[in-house]
Structure 1
Amino acid sequence: MDGLTKHFHTSKNLFGKPTHTVKAVDGVSFEIGYGETLGLVGESGSGKSTTGRLILRLEEPTAGQVHFEGQEIGKLSSSQLSPIRKKLQVVFQDPFSSLNPRLRVGDSVGEPLQTHGLVSGGSDKRDKVAALFRQVGLDPKFMDRFPHQFSGGQRQRIGIARAIALGPKLIVADEPITALDVSIQAQIVNLFLDLQEELGMAYLFIAHDLGMVRHLCHRVAVMLRGRIVEMGSTEQVFANPQHPYTQALISAAPIPDPDREALRRRIPYDLVPPPPGAVLREVDPGHWALSAA
């Protein structure tokens, strides 16, 4: 991604010209390497999900470019984008609304295989869907059930099975554990780790839970009001946060130790816009923070 920008016009005057613009994503640039997990964190409304949708071409950018395997995909037609779509997949936040309630889950998982011509017939599709179910820890005998017959964690496993069906190189996981019970969240995160080790794909992991991000991600990018304010390895960002917003965000994360939690002190942060001309500067090798010119 290079200078990716998305503006929404929320109101217009009598002549149809915009009078108020929301800068949902404002000049965001980062790279994700093969087999890497980049965590994208920040408060609600910071532009995380919009960034993910821009990468997937579910939204068209106002400006900037998205490169995938050396190819700029922003100007590709639908037919040109079709082979790219197989390599770019998504796991949504709500595992129920992301599944068609009228389709048996086996058909939902097998649909992309059929659409892209990766199965030769009904029995071939069923065998491949069964293998995908096993891969995400589900019994293939559940393939003929409907989404409402599953728990939230099981539905998310079905969504993951559908995402990996085409052998993607990058999965955008948009808050994939937020809607799940705490007891299930760790299971889904561990499933992501196991699949990455097995299949070698990269993740853009969008999340609020800093504990899970720290456990899962190789690098972290912190977003605030549509901009990246800090980015670096997970160890760098958590051990030595440079931007005041990152410091406040980490200080607000609960600690699963009653004694340490009692001593935790939140760092306040005044949500003011960054100063004019502020840019990301390298404070340590591979560690960047937004600062004034």
Structure 2
Amino acid sequence: MNAIAPKPILAVEGLTRHFDTAHNLWGRSTHTVKAVDGISFTVAPGETLGLVGESGSGKSTTGRLVLRLEKPTAGRIVFEGEDITGLKTHQLIKVRKKLQVVFQDPYSSLNPRMRVGESVGEPLRVHGVVRGGAEQRDRVAELFRRVGLDPRFMDRFPHQFSGGQRQRIGIARAIALGPKLIVADEPITALDVSIQAQIINLFLDLQEEMGMAYLFIAHDLGMVRYLCHRVAVMLRGRIVEMGPTAEVFANPTHPYTRALISAAPIPDPDREAARRRLPYEPSPPPPEAELREVSAGHFALV
């Protein structure tokens, strides 16, 4: 008997976000940027879905829409079976406990005037998870240990930490409430290469320990290949290919996916020297194109 597939923790249906960038004298829009243009995908419990594409493809906007930091122009966002698309700010408070974010720049995401222990403990206090200062410090100390930081550093300020340590602090804050899904918006881009692997392994360890799902937004295809169960490739606001990571990397179907993979550096001097980069002239996918299954679970825009 076939196992029943788990119900998605996140389902995005026809998600759209358009920005009016120019107006005439009467205030009517004369130019619209289709940052996200009718995309659909799901994330299963405990799964990592990688979202890749060039700058301006709509990856980060998609993440902000899922988090409801941006209001969609159209479409639906269903989280844990609840449509959160039209929820008001006060209605989103209970959703925030289960839906968290790790930002790209760990320094700008921390209040420079607040001690890091206070920053990590703030979600616990705001959501009423702890009863007093002593309990909060105990919980924060445990969170610090969980992400590989010494609890003695809790009373320091963000500028006293390295970039990798600051990102660990951001991760500690994100997991403080035991979320079900974390949107990681290029969380390793601002870090040294030597630190990136440590942070990726921390994500993996926390996922195994806590069972969280990730929407992992990134440029680094090597990290996506290592971390993600499935990958979705975005171009000009649309998903042009999506499927199991190993299948997409082994058999890329859309020309943009093939060009993107061919441009990824290979950590082997001989193979890198022989690598052939495929040219691709980015152009908006035709409006009538749609994702079709090319193999089991593997979809491409045709």
Q: Same fold (TM over 0.5)?
A: yes
* Structure 1 residue 110, shift from structure 2 partner: 0.2
* Structure 1 residue 273, shift from structure 2 partner: 1.6
Q: Quick one: distance in 2 between partners of 1:61 and 1:76?
A: 12
What does residue range 3-14 of structure 1 map to in structure 2 within 5 Å? 3-14=14-25
TM-score by length of 2: 0.96
* Corresponding position of 2:211: 200
Q: Quick one: distance in 2 between partners of 1:39 and 1:80?
A: 28
Q: Quick one: distance in 1 between partners of 2:300 and 2:228?
A: 18
* Structure 1 residue 136, shift from structure 2 partner: 0.1
What does residue range 132-211 of structure 1 map to in structure 2 within 5 Å? 132-211=143-222
Residue of 108, 131, 137 corresponding to 1:97? 108
Q: Quick one: distance in 1 between partners of 2:282 and 2:64?
A: 25
* Corresponding position of 1:81: 92
1:142 is paired with a residue whose SS is helix
Cα 1:220/1:142, change in 2 over 3 Å: same
- 1:197-243 per-residue CA deviation (whole Å, 9 max, x = no partner) reads 00000000000000000000000000000000000000110000000
* Corresponding position of 2:66: 55
Q: Quick one: distance in 2 between partners of 1:65 and 1:265?
A: 40
| Counterpart AA for 2:26 | F
Residue of 109, 117, 135 corresponding to 2:120? 109
Runs of 5+ unmatched residues, structure 2: 1-11
Aligned residues: 291
Q: Quick one: distance in 1 between partners of 2:91 and 2:166?
A: 31
1:98 is paired with a residue whose SS is coil
* Corresponding position of 2:32: 21
Structure 2 residue 126 is the aligned partner of structure 1 residue 127 = no
Q: Quick one: distance in 2 between partners of 1:77 and 1:152?
A: 34
Q: Quick one: distance in 2 between partners of 1:138 and 1:75?
A: 38
1:124 is paired with a residue whose SS is helix
- 1:233-278 per-residue CA deviation (whole Å, 9 max, x = no partner) reads 0011000000000000000000000010010000000112212300
2:240 is paired with a residue whose SS is strand
* Structure 1 residue 79, shift from structure 2 partner: 2.6
- 1:25-66 per-residue CA deviation (whole Å, 9 max, x = no partner) reads 000100000000000000000000000000000000000000
* Corresponding position of 2:242: 231
Q: Quick one: distance in 2 between partners of 1:161 and 1:60?
A: 27
1:212 is paired with a residue whose SS is helix
TM-score by length of 1: 0.99
Q: Quick one: distance in 1 between partners of 2:287 and 2:211?
A: 40
| Counterpart AA for 1:21 | T
| Counterpart AA for 2:200 | V
* Corresponding position of 1:257: 268
* Corresponding position of 2:3: none
- What's the Cα RMSD here? 0.5
* Corresponding position of 2:7: none
Structure 2 residue 250 is the aligned partner of structure 1 residue 216 = no
* Structure 1 residue 24, shift from structure 2 partner: 0.2
Q: Quick one: distance in 2 between partners of 1:151 and 1:285?
A: 44
Residue of 243, 246, 259 corresponding to 2:257? 246
* Structure 1 residue 74, shift from structure 2 partner: 1.0
* Structure 1 residue 80, shift from structure 2 partner: 2.1
Identity of aligned residues (%): 79
2:42 is paired with a residue whose SS is coil
Structure 2 residue 42 is the aligned partner of structure 1 residue 31 = yes
| Counterpart AA for 2:105 | D
* Structure 1 residue 105, shift from structure 2 partner: 0.1
Moved over 4 A (4+): none
| Counterpart AA for 1:181 | D
* Structure 1 residue 78, shift from structure 2 partner: 2.3
